[in-house]
Structure 1
Amino acid sequence: MRILILGTGGMANTHAKNFAEIEGVELVGGVDVDPARVEAFNSTHGIQRGFGSLDAALAWGEFDAIANVTPDSIHHPTTMAALNAGKHVFCEKPLATDHTKAMEMTETAERLGLVNMVNLTYRNVAQLQKARDIVQSGQIGKVKHFEASYLQSWLVSKAWGDWRTESQWLWRLSKKHGSNGVLGDIGVHILDFAAYGAGSDFSKVFCRLETFDKAEGNKIGEYDLDANDSFAMTAQLENGALGVIHATRWATGHFNELRLRVYGDHGSVEVQHRHDWSKLFTCLGDDIETGVWTEVAVDPVPTNYMRFVEAVRTGRNLEPSFRHATNIQKVLDIATVTDRDKYEHKV
């Protein structure tokens, strides 16, 4: 299987490393508008061919699939071009910047019979996979309530770099540079984390967004710092469960932490995931009377990269698919509307 890496920024290195480790996969090309960057990327990963545009790569055409690691606002036009050229696509999240574009990508991929998957990276967390299994098996009974959070601190701490001087962070704070803020950036992750772990899609949401002052005039160079920094959401799932979801870049002391608690009438599960460890806890059976939580050991699970390769090889699409990511994008779009209208909307 031959893969083209489209976009050679920071996350592209993760794609290249993971795909290169899969037996039978060959990285055959890198694409970037910056010649120096694509040359350096190809040298690092032993890729022979470099291209300055997707059009040039498609004209060559000697590959089966692309890993689309371009900025969010570029996902739609590049993915559409790749699909129409008959290439399978593994796209970074979010699939698109709005539901309409995401749906066009989904319907095109499905109509053409091409494998389409989105790199919702926390599907790789074995503890989340196991939590979903426990919920769906009925061990916690009927799901009544859930709570989920995604906490980052890079607007406070320089542990990941200085956002005030580095474009890789500044663009995430600027609408005109394609950012939908914390809602679009990490909101897509925690919404998927919550719905997947709780075993049900969303039915209703209400969201509040907030953008805090970060610099004089809220502007640094060409970047207007106008994208949201925090959100707080109430949501109901199709299974009837009610819950809360929140995320922020101002969570001092939390570099990159996701948490999900799912409460049923016969037990509960909790997933904690950080950049350096993951844990799963359950409160089941007699323990619900004493409030005792037990840590559960889990085995590793196949990564999204592995599943994408399997999907291309078998011709059978796997999750997380474009359609699933499109449904999440609909929730994100509606969340923005509810912030404007100040009342709950159905999904």
Structure 2
Amino acid sequence: MRLLILGTGQMANAHARSFAEIDTVTLAGAVDVDPARAEAFCAKYGIEKAFTSLADALAWGNFDAVANVTPDSAHYSTTLQCLAAGKHVFCEKPLATNSVDAMEMAEKAESANLVGMVNLTYRNVAQLQAARKLVTSGRIGTVKHVEASYLQSWLVSRQWGDWRTESQWLWRLSKNHGSNGTLGDVGVHILDFVVYATDTEIDEVFCRLKAFDKAEGNRIGEYELDANDSFTMSVSFKNGALGVVHSSRWATGHVNELRLRVYGDKGSLEVLHRHDGSRLLVCLDADIETATWREINVDPVQTNYQRFVEAVAIGLTLEPSFRHAARLQMAIDLANVTESDRREHRLST
């Protein structure tokens, strides 16, 4: 497979490294509006050709698929151009900034018989995949209740840099600079963590959002600090279960942590994924009576990058697909609505 990398920002490095490790992939081209940055990126990863526009790359056309690593707001228009040119697309999350655009992208990929997949990176966590197998095999019985959280501490500590002075963090706090806050940034990750592990779909949501005071007048230079820092969401699922999902950038002591607890009528499980490792714990069978939890060791799993290459090779979209990501975006869109009208909303079928 010959691959074009669209966008050469920070996340593009992960794409280039990951795809380069796959024997059947050739990094054919890269696109960036800055010629020097495009050339430097190509030189760093041994990429054949550099372009300063997607139009020029598509006119050249000597590639099979595109890794779309453009800013969130550009995913929609650039992906549609790639699909119209007959190229498979592996898009960074979120698929689009709203569910209408995301669903259009899914439908266009499907109607063209092209692979459309989204890089929901935590699918690469082996413990999450093992948790799903426990649920689908019936080991924990019928899922009744779910707890999930995505906790970060970069507004408290400087482990990732200083958000007060660095534009790479400040834009994430400002609606005018394209940020949809914590909900828009990492909400898709924790919601995918939940629905994938529980093998169900979200039915209804109710959400509260909060942007905390962070500076005098909640402004630093050109950045108005008005994007949400935390959210709390109550969720009902199509299988009848209830859940609570929350996230914050103010979670002191948590660098980057996803936690999921799933409670069934025959057992329970917990997935903990941190910057320094992952764990899967279960309470099953006779251990239910003594509330004993045991850790399960799991083997590594395929990455999203590997699954995308496989999908293109067999001509069949694998998960996480555009359509799945569009459903997650629908839940996020409705969560924003519930903050305004203060009532629960049901996802459309």
The residue number in structure 1 matching 2:210 is 210
CA deviation profile, 1:19-65 (whole Å, cap 9, x unmatched): 00001101111111122222221121111311111111111111111
Match of 1:316?
A: 316
SS of the residue 1:336 aligns to:
helix
- Does 2:270 correspond to 1:277? no
Q: What is the letter of the counterpart of residue 300 of structure 1?
A: P
Displacement after TM superposition at 1:217 (Å): 2.1
SS in 1 for 2:63: coil
Paired position in structure 2 for 1:226: 226
Per the alignment, residue 190 of structure 1 pairs with 190
Q: Is the 8 A contact 1:20 1:26 kept in 2?
A: yes
Q: Is the 8 A contact 1:206 1:233 kept in 2?
A: yes
RMSD of the TM alignment (CA)?
0.9
What is aligned with 1:135?
135
Distance (whole Å) between structure 1 residues aligned to residue 295 and residue 181 of structure 2: 34
Take 1:131 and 1:248, find their aligned partners in 2: how far apart are those partners? Answer: 24
The whole-number CA distance in structure 2 between the counterparts of 1:171 and 1:83 is 29
CA contact 1:72–1:179 (8 Å) conserved in 2: no
Post-superposition offset of 1:9: 0.7
After TM superposition, give the deviation of residue 100 of structure 1 in Å.
Answer: 0.8
CA shift, 1:206, in A, is 0.4
**Distance in 2 between the 1:232 and 1:287 partners?**
31
In structure 2, what is the equivalent of residue 88 of structure 1? 88
TM-score (norm 1): 0.98
SS in 1 for 2:183: helix
Query: What letter corresponds to residue 153 of structure 1 in structure 2?
Result: S
Counterpart mapping for 1:321-332 below 5 A: 321-332=321-332
2-structure distance, mates of 1:168, 1:181: 14
Q: CA deviation at 1:220?
A: 2.1
Quick check: 1:152–1:248 contact (8 Å CA) kept in 2? yes
Pairing of 1:91-130 with structure 2 (within 5 A)? 91-130=91-130
SS at match of 1:186: helix
Are 1:16 and 1:27, in contact at CA under 8 Å, matched by a contact in 2?
A: yes
Other-structure match for 1:2: 2
Equivalent pairs: percent with the same residue?
68
Give the Å deviation of 1:67.
Answer: 0.4
Aligned to 2:57: 57
* Between 212-221 and 17-26, the greater mean CA deviation after superposition: 212-221
| Residue number in structure 2 paired with 1:22 | 22
Partner Cα separation in structure 1 for residue 337 and residue 173 of structure 2:
19
- Does the CA contact (< 8 Å) of 1:7 and 1:32 recur in 2? yes
Query: In 1, distance between residues paired with 2:170 and 2:214?
Result: 11
Name the SS of the counterpart of 1:57 in structure 2: helix
The equivalent of 1:160 in structure 2 is: 160
Q: 3-state SS of the aligned residue for 1:80? A: helix
After TM superposition, the score normalised by the length of structure 2 is: 0.98
| Matched residue count | 347
More moved, 248-257 vs 172-181: 172-181
Work out whether residues 182 and 230 of structure 1, in 8 Å CA contact, stay in contact via their aligned partners in 2: yes
Structure 2 segments unaligned to the other structure (5+ residues)? none
Q: Report the equivalent of 2:302.
A: 302
